[in-house]
Structure 1
Amino acid sequence: MASLGYSFLFFYSYFILTLFLLHAPLLVTSSTYRYKVESSSINRTAPTNSTKRHHKWVGPVGYREITVDVNGAGEFLSVQAAVDAVPENNGENVMILISAGYYIEKVTVPASKPYITFQGEGRDVTIIEWHDRACDRGANGQQLRTYRTASVSVFANYFSARNISFKNTAPAPMPGMQGWQAAAFRISGDKAYFAGCGFYGAQDTLCDDAGRHYFKECYIEGSIDFIFGNGRSMYRDCELHSIATRFGSIAAQDRNSPDEKTGFAFLNCRVTGTGPLYVGRAMGQYSRIVYSYTYFDNVVAHGGWDDWDHASNKNKTVFFGVYKCWGPGAAAVQGVSWARELDYESAHKFLAKSFVNGRHWIAPSDA
């Protein structure tokens, strides 16, 4: 009986050992797979020494609020002081809450301070204003020229503004007067968003200088080229209001190469005020301006568009277009042969936030 027991134990041990050896590779593989999955999950949120490439979030981390009140109820009395309090190479969302009031100051947001938002209490009650003109002289004794006249200048990426107005209170010039350009706002950073904002000036109100920008439900007022620059921008549900006395123009776009993706797309906007008014001017050789689903009051000049310099033959290279526009001034917008009446195929790229690559940086609820 003893020898039989020993034989049974021997064969039983051999059987267990065989099973283990047969399944060991599978157990090791499963363990390794689980480790790789867990490591991959860790790599999404924290750096490791792995040489594998992983997609890492590079946006802002954290949130900070700064309050501004011209009457002394906030952390700062001025908007510039609040901007100065944001550290260089800022890496968090900074909400600057600006109470109702007039902030008589010149403000600059440098390129080293991204992710800043100006949040006002309403465009009719929260206002930043200044009064520089192009012929005025700066601290160095030199004339400012147009781009440096802006009451607020933003060079940083990922800037946004909501429910606030920007003004340049310099008097409106008569057509042809030199040195009276006076910008209320200059945006030179990429991926900027504006909602419910007001821009008030006369000649060159809004300097849409460079980068991708999205304007929603904004009010923009001026007389001559009151939106100008080489931005790649969409204006959606905005009112473009002219205060021109003899002659005026809405947009002057400065695209200078057919390879540039810049241009101004106006979607579901309203053109009101006084005229006669050009709706677009060819600031650049390949200027690109498109109006879609836009209402034009009876203020549009005969011909509707201007090629800026009649000796340059820009009318052969610009892209001026209209799509399903309406109102008593709409017929005049189609008044020259080189302003095209677009079909859906040629207009659709100007009808969505993808024109400014907005899917990557504009929340669906904001667009």
Structure 2
Amino acid sequence: MTHFPSKRLLGAGGPVGRTLATVVALVASLALGAAGEGTAAASTAKGPVTAAPRWTDQAHGFASLAGGTDGGAGGKVVTVTDQASLVKYAAAEEPYVIRVAGSIAVAPFGTDVVVASNKTIIGVDDSGEIVHGELHLNPGTSNVIIRNLTIRDSYVEGDWDGKTTDFDAIQMDTVDHVWIDHNRFTHMGDGLLDIRRDSQYITVSNNQFAHHNKAFGIGWTTNVLTQITIDHNWFTGTKQRNPSADNCAYAHLYNNYVSAQVSDGDPVWTYGNWSRGRTKMVIENSYYDGVQHPYQADTTAELVQRGSILRNVSGRQDAWGTAFEPRDFYAYRLDPAVAVPALVKRFSGPQQRIGAAVTLHVPADHPTVQAAVDAVPAGNASPVTIAVAPGTYREKVLIPAGKPNILLQGTGRHRSDTVIVHNTPAEYGGSTGSATVRIAASDVTARNLTFSNDFDEAAVELKGEQALAMKTTGDRIVFENTAFLGNQDTLMTDSPKLDVISRVYVRDSYIEGDVDFIYGRATTVIERSVIRALSRGSTTNNGYITAASTWTGNPYGFLITRSEVVSDAPAGSFHLGRPWHPGGEPNAVAQVLFRETGLPAAIKASPWTDMSGFPWKDARFTEYRTYGPGAQVTADRPQMTEADAVTHTVADYLNGTDGWAPYARR
């Protein structure tokens, strides 16, 4: 999050002749992520500021001082949908980014959910809710971010003054470095937000406090320690504590909106802001509409007010003392008071953009694809898109097993616009080490990209010419509209070990190579794709399309269906495949089915062949309804029966025990 220095765009002394529409349009023209937060994205001398993942946002104001507040940054990102998971991760000793998806009803009614240090709790989209429960920070808790949530409905009927229960939305005692941002609090059992007993370095921003008696209290101490920033909040349909600040060392309130105050005839305890005890309070560019006692101060306190707008107000408007200068502590930007109602109504409370799936941009946010992968937290349980701009990225990329749920997305018009390429042969790192891209994680998708290994096997004489463009070992891997370029061993779809089944789905893609260029033991479906068998200049043997090493306990190896094999190799010079038994493993028994796929004249009449002493006839090689000049029915070409074909569909290969069905997505 970027904060302007002391120079203001439009402050209290800005042009008063602007209409509300003009000012709102001007402010809204700033970056969406900043306009409602008292901040703005801008171009700097170093170039444009790019948006960071929302769960890595850091606090502004007092919460940014003395080491700052980054919550669970660097910890695992988890998504919770039930109370047990929320309680478990919120109280854990290690850092977590906890994404709350949907509504979590807390039981028993009014129960505390304890939040330990180094946590970010953030609602998914704008629908993350905690109902009937309180987030509670015990003494000593440090570095907590709570964002984008609705916390509601622990109110006990008839207890308007909150005297029989203490069911706050958030309560904290003697904590430090807390950021409360973009939440909605309503209809709770006592206060909505209670910041108590010497808590320090707090920022409360962009929240909605609605339909309640006691909105937001600070203090419950005789010590004068708390430093707090309160900005861009909307208090509507509340009666008191909007906020009440008791014995705060520094309370900075700016660009808040207090409106539609509850009116029950109470001449004292219906009010807006109150500087109590020995608090030093500064109020700037806020907006009060229909408020009794908009701001007031004890005789022992200090209150400085500048630039605010008061409409239909009555009662006390106290201002005395010098308080303090907030800019001596941190930089911030004031929005004009006239724009506050429109801005706060639009941008306060939960926002879809904050809790949405995260997108990392290459090279705008990260200079390389690997750098973007490195930025994804280990154990990531939430979708992360790595959007790769058109260009050629000469690098090797590893998505480790601990970083699932990643989408690699090329953003060009064509898959050829965005290329990840390297040129390492197997002799310089083994077949795995040669891979340009390795995907060890599960639940990874790649779209609209080209993966290439451009090692020139003709230029250098090596003992082994394997040079992988892609190797996968994870489960539930999807490639859509992708290209794999290489020669020997272009695409390897594998699993962590022989008897572990991983699944890979390739659709609407292009694969080229010569020797064993589609190989491995993963259950792999290639659908609606083009497979190009490259010529090595031989008139008799130019290579092998497949080299499967399927575990004998797995009925499903490679399915190539509704696709087209093309080649410029001489007629009868290419094999459909051979059985690979890595290290002589007898339980690796290839299963390959070419189904409803066109075959060129380059395919041999006897297209299967032995490998390393293992006969092809012991493998599970079949064709079903292949067509084209390379398709024949002979004794050397096993054909799958109609009955077996019924159980060898795309769904049979991929569904597994979890019902995975990537083929159903469009």
TM-score range, shorter chain: 0.7 to 0.9
Aligned equivalent of 1:25: none
Contact 1:286 1:314 in 2 (8 A): no
Aligned equivalent of 1:194: 479
Contact 1:305 1:336 in 2 (8 A): no
Question: 1:74-153 to 2 correspondence within 5 Å?
Answer: 74-120=364-410, 121=412, 122-136=414-428, 144-153=429-438
- The residue type paired with residue 267 of structure 1 is T
Tell me how far apart the structure 1 counterparts of residues 521 and 655 of structure 2 sit (CA, whole Å): 16
1:135 offset after TM fit, Å? 1.1
Match of 1:228 among 512, 515, 519: 519
TM-score norm. by structure 2 comes to: 0.43
Tell me how far apart the structure 1 counterparts of residues 644 and 100 of structure 2 sit (CA, whole Å): 37
Contact 1:60 1:91 in 2 (8 A): no
Aligned equivalent of 2:10: none
1:48 offset after TM fit, Å? 4.6
1:314 offset after TM fit, Å? 4.4
Contact 2:516 2:545 in 1 (8 A): yes
Match of 2:83 among 47, 60, 83: 47
Aligned equivalent of 1:344: 642
Deviation per CA, 1:107-137: give whole Å up to 9, x if none.
Answer: 000000000010002311000000000112x
Contact 1:304 1:336 in 2 (8 A): no
Off by >2 Å, runs of 4+ in structure 1: 59-62, 311-314, 334-337, 348-354, 358-367
Correspondence 1:294 to 2:597: yes
1:66 offset after TM fit, Å? 0.6
Tell me how far apart the structure 2 counterparts of residues 313 and 362 of structure 1 sit (CA, whole Å): 34
Query: For residues 189 and 360 of structure 1, do their structure 2 counterparts lie closer, same or farther at Cα, with a shift above 3 Å needed?
Result: same
Aligned equivalent of 1:270: 564
Aligned equivalent of 2:323: none
Tell me how far apart the structure 2 counterparts of residues 363 and 341 of structure 1 sit (CA, whole Å): 27
Tell me how far apart the structure 2 counterparts of residues 147 and 178 of structure 1 sit (CA, whole Å): 16
Tell me how far apart the structure 1 counterparts of residues 409 and 454 of structure 2 sit (CA, whole Å): 22
Aligned equivalent of 1:362: 661
Contact 2:591 2:620 in 1 (8 A): yes
TM-score norm. by structure 1 comes to: 0.76
Question: Unpaired runs of 5+ in structure 2?
Answer: 1-79, 86-98, 102-123, 125-356, 496-501, 582-587
- The residue type paired with residue 312 of structure 1 is F
Give the fraction of aligned pairs with identical amino acids, expressed as a percent. 28
Deviation per CA, 1:152-199: give whole Å up to 9, x if none.
Answer: 00100000000101000001459x963110000001100011100000
Aligned equivalent of 1:10: none
Aligned equivalent of 1:41: none
Aligned equivalent of 1:304: 607
* 3-state SS of paired residue (2:594): strand
Kindly tell me the number of residue pairs found equivalent between the two proteins: 297
1:270 offset after TM fit, Å? 0.5
Correspondence 1:248 to 2:540: no
1:318 offset after TM fit, Å? 0.8
Query: For residues 105 and 283 of structure 1, do their structure 2 counterparts lie closer, same or farther at Cα, with a shift above 3 Å needed?
Result: same
Match of 1:326 among 627, 633, 647: 627
Deviation per CA, 1:20-74: give whole Å up to 9, x if none.
Answer: xxxxxxxxxxxxxxxxxxxxxxxx941359xxxxxxxxx99651111103xxxx1
Tell me how far apart the structure 2 counterparts of residues 237 and 48 of structure 1 sit (CA, whole Å): 44
Tell me how far apart the structure 2 counterparts of residues 148 and 351 of structure 1 sit (CA, whole Å): 33
Deviation per CA, 1:285-311: give whole Å up to 9, x if none.
Answer: 5211001100011111231111213x4
- The residue type paired with residue 286 of structure 1 is V
- The residue type paired with residue 441 of structure 2 is A
Contact 2:505 2:662 in 1 (8 A): no
Contact 1:235 1:267 in 2 (8 A): yes
Tell me how far apart the structure 2 counterparts of residues 344 and 173 of structure 1 sit (CA, whole Å): 44
1:237 offset after TM fit, Å? 0.6
Tell me how far apart the structure 2 counterparts of residues 193 and 241 of structure 1 sit (CA, whole Å): 20
1:204 offset after TM fit, Å? 0.2
Contact 2:578 2:616 in 1 (8 A): no
Aligned equivalent of 1:282: 579
Structure whose residues are more often helix by fraction: 1
Structure whose residues are more often strand by fraction: 2
1:313 offset after TM fit, Å? 3.7
Question: Unpaired runs of 5+ in structure 1?
Answer: 1-43, 50-58, 137-143
Tell me how far apart the structure 1 counterparts of residues 595 and 616 of structure 2 sit (CA, whole Å): 22
1:336 offset after TM fit, Å? 4.7
1:252 offset after TM fit, Å? 0.4
Correspondence 1:65 to 2:363: no
Tell me how far apart the structure 2 counterparts of residues 116 and 241 of structure 1 sit (CA, whole Å): 28
Tell me how far apart the structure 2 counterparts of residues 319 and 173 of structure 1 sit (CA, whole Å): 33
1:365 offset after TM fit, Å? 4.1
Tell me how far apart the structure 1 counterparts of residues 551 and 443 of structure 2 sit (CA, whole Å): 25
